[in-house]
Amino acid sequence: MTYRAPLDDIVFALRLAAGEGAIEADGVYRDLADGVAEQTLAEAAKFAEQVLLPLDQIGDRVGATYANGAVTTPPGWREAYAQWQDGGWNAIAAGEDYGGLDLPALLNAGCTEIWNAANMAFAVCPLLGHGAIEAMEAHASDALKDVYLRRIVSGEWTATMNLTEPGAGSDLGLMRTRAERAPDGSYRLFGQKIFITYGEHDLAPNIVHLVLARLPDAPAGTRGISLFLAPKFLPDETGGFTRRNDVRCAGIEHKLGIHGSPTCTMIYGDEGGAVAYLLGEENKGLACMFTMMNNARLSVGLQGVALADRATQMALGYARERKQGRTPGAKETSAITEHPDVARMLLTMASSTAAARAICYETAAAIDRGHRESDPARAAAAHERASLLTPVAKAFSTDIANETTSLAVQVFGGMGYIEETGVAQLMRDARICAIYEGTNGIQAIDLVTRKIRGGDGVALAREIDDMRAIASEADVAREALRESVEALAQASAFLTTTELAGALAGATPYLRLFALARGATLLVKGAKRAQRDVDPNAARYAALARFFAENIALAAPGLAKSVIDGGASVNESHAALGE
């Protein structure tokens, strides 16, 4: 169960995504100049390797436990959380007004990857809390910010997002949790929420819940949902927080993975209603949530990158030591890395991880530029780009995490199936990433309906132009790159013109196609940059870029066919589904 934060690769991807000159004193990322990015990442790596990593396996084995409404985190986690808070790690990406450091999303992406690789079940707590921070920054009153946001940013308290109900998962319009107006301007909440990550725990003295609920006179569906803040402890007369609110944890789930992270069923209003405060306007709750959705989805994509990288590291480490069989011509038993079939697995893992990382960091840079570009047109374009790339970053990276962690088990062979070695845990932990924060199917539908069919097409055209430019200047695998980009262009054109059901049927292969073309071109761009800059990793980056283009991205034409020609066989196949 080892992990070394791949600082070289992270800094490289960060600088590539930031763009040339962006991290200079006069650039968009001037706050990362003078080694700030490198130093921060090195500190994050130290914390991850020394504090979080040693608690990862015990978190899996012992798990969070529930008794009488209280949740106990695994041994050592309280102490680690105290160190997390002391280190001020929670404040990195939060705004300055309430104690944040306001560092860019790009740097936060690097830290997020590192923390989640070391211990995803721990790191998911602040990760989801960051979404709450953003929602509060955008929509909470100053009074609420002063009391709650400040303490969440510092890490003194944690925050949760309460969306899902038993009957309302991907379809939030079916939500039934009820909010009533109280005479003092506050609200009372009644209902049940499920799958609430860290809804209850012992890491911090107070937990601030952001809750979606429906007012009695609200319109039906998603336009009748409001966003509320309901803390576990309310302020008392002396300014302390000792008054228990009417919200409790009714139990935690027994899950496939991330056992250290308590997944809670939360009951609001069993004893007269949970006191809550409105964020934003009534019935605009879903819009409020969307303001922070891009970042949260990107963060989950980064969890995918994190576990994919860790799985690759573990598999490589094992394969270098494990000796079985002889390669053609060898006189002694070979390390299994020498066997072409094992090398293929390892290259698939390493290059897919690199491609997913490149896409995620590119997305983070687009988010940053949406905020930081002084020219409004450039800022707007960057914002559009972030919207376009976000579902790709989330879904592709988490698919890659599933594939890569499973391949790691395969490289370990029989030892991979034994829990002791720890690779099976990575596979179990990773499996949630393709599901939460919008399933990967929802991401694909978002990409196809809102981003491809819904927009003016400018962001997509720009993206494809960029890929074409890289492909045309490529030194290696030029034809494979070109084919993947043209396949994307064809499939994109088809999706904008066909009827909706046909487009929806192609959503998942289209997202994959997009990611393969974008990933392959970014890796080739990076390899070229590394060669120019005489980067010590240049040979490795070139090999990964070539392998990805010639073995992974060449699925692109087939995927385009599936999008264009395969949709009918989906929508005309009800007989096969027994309907």
Q: Per-residue DSSP letters for 365-408?
A: HHHHHHHH-SSHHHHHHHHHHHHHHHHHHHHHHHHHHHHHHHHH
Q: Are 410 and 312 in contact (CB under 8 A)?
A: no
Q: Does 260 bind a copy of itself (CB under 8 A)?
A: no
Scanning residues 515 to 544, which ones bind a copy of itself (CB under 8 A)? 539-540, 542-544
Residue (350 or 367) nearer to a copy of itself, CB = 350
| Contact stretch for a copy of itself (CB under 8 A) within 129-137, 143-151, 205-213, 559-567 | 559-567
Scanning residues 15 to 74, which ones bind a copy of itself (CB under 8 A)? none
Selection from 271, 250, 255, 273 nearest residue 70 by Cα: 250
In angstroms, rounded to a whole number, what is the distance separating the alpha carbons of residues 99 and 202?
A: 24
437 is an active site residue: yes
In angstroms, rounded to a whole number, what is the distance separating the alpha carbons of residues 71 and 94?
A: 27
CA distances from 346 to 153, 309, 408, 481 (A): 39, 11, 8, 21
Q: Are 258 and 228 in contact (CB under 8 A)?
A: no
Scanning residues 464 to 483, which ones bind a copy of itself (CB under 8 A)? 477
Question: Shortest Cβ distance from residue 428 to a copy of itself (Å)?
Answer: 8
Question: Shortest Cβ distance from residue 160 to a copy of itself (Å)?
Answer: 15
**Who contacts 32 (Cβ-Cβ below 8 Å, separation ≥6)?**
18, 23, 103, 104, 106, 107
Q: Does 413 bind a copy of itself (CB under 8 A)?
A: yes
Q: Does 201 bind a copy of itself (CB under 8 A)?
A: no
In angstroms, rounded to a whole number, what is the distance separating the alpha carbons of residues 128 and 263?
A: 12
Q: Does 427 bind a copy of itself (CB under 8 A)?
A: yes
In angstroms, rounded to a whole number, what is the distance separating the alpha carbons of residues 355 and 274?
A: 45
CA distances from 385 to 108, 168, 365, 371, 515 (A): 19, 30, 10, 12, 14
| Contact stretch for a copy of itself (CB under 8 A) within 52-60, 205-213, 467-475, 500-508 | 500-508
| Contact stretch for a copy of itself (CB under 8 A) within 3-11, 42-50, 360-368, 419-427 | 419-427
Q: Which amino acid is at 179?
A: A
Q: Does 394 bind a copy of itself (CB under 8 A)?
A: no
**The one among 50, 242, 497, 569 contacting a copy of itself by CB under 8 A:** 569
**The one among 416, 422, 519, 526 contacting a copy of itself by CB under 8 A:** 416
Query: Which is catalytic among the residues 384, 437, 463, 483?
Result: 437
Q: Does 146 bind a copy of itself (CB under 8 A)?
A: no
| Contact stretch for a copy of itself (CB under 8 A) within 13-21, 77-85, 269-277, 425-433 | 425-433
Residue (42 or 172) nearer to a copy of itself, CB = 172
| Contact stretch for a copy of itself (CB under 8 A) within 80-88, 134-142, 249-257, 270-278 | 249-257
> How many chain residues touch a copy of itself (CB under 8 A)?
95
In angstroms, rounded to a whole number, what is the distance separating the alpha carbons of residues 317 and 51?
A: 22
In our burial notation (b when 16+ CB lie closer than 10 A, e otherwise), range 511-531 reads bbbbbbbbbbbbbbbbbbbbe
Residue (255 or 518) nearer to a copy of itself, CB = 255
What are the beta bridge partners of residue 193?
266
**The one among 57, 83, 439, 490 contacting a copy of itself by CB under 8 A:** 439
**Who contacts 98 (Cβ-Cβ below 8 Å, separation ≥6)?**
137, 145, 146, 149, 150, 153
Scanning residues 288 to 347, which ones bind a copy of itself (CB under 8 A)? 316, 320, 324-325, 327-328, 333, 337, 339-347
Phi, psi torsion values for 7, nearest 5 degrees: -60, -40
Strand, coil or helix: 334: coil
Binding mask 181-200 for a copy of itself (x = CB under 8 A): -------------xx-----
Q: For tokens 């079939």, name the residue.
A: 341
**The one among 126, 509, 519, 526 contacting a copy of itself by CB under 8 A:** 509
Question: Shortest Cβ distance from residue 565 to a copy of itself (Å)?
Answer: 6
Residue (109 or 523) nearer to a copy of itself, CB = 523
Q: How far apart are the first and last CA of the chain?
A: 47
| Contact stretch for a copy of itself (CB under 8 A) within 140-148, 236-244, 430-438, 528-536 | 430-438
Q: Per-residue DSSP letters for 528-564?
A: HHHHHTT-TTHHHHHHHHHHIIIIIGGGHHHHHHHHH
Q: Does 401 bind a copy of itself (CB under 8 A)?
A: no
Residue (109 or 342) nearer to a copy of itself, CB = 342
Question: Shortest Cβ distance from residue 204 to a copy of itself (Å)?
Answer: 25
**The one among 311, 507, 517, 520 contacting a copy of itself by CB under 8 A:** 507
**Who contacts 499 (Cβ-Cβ below 8 Å, separation ≥6)?**
none
**The one among 2, 39, 170, 472 contacting a copy of itself by CB under 8 A:** 170
**The one among 185, 239, 376, 414 contacting a copy of itself by CB under 8 A:** 414
**The one among 8, 70, 182, 417 contacting a copy of itself by CB under 8 A:** 417
In angstroms, rounded to a whole number, what is the distance separating the alpha carbons of residues 85 and 101?
A: 14
Residue (164 or 186) nearer to a copy of itself, CB = 164
Q: Which amino acid is at 490?
A: Q
Q: Which residues are catalytic?
A: 437
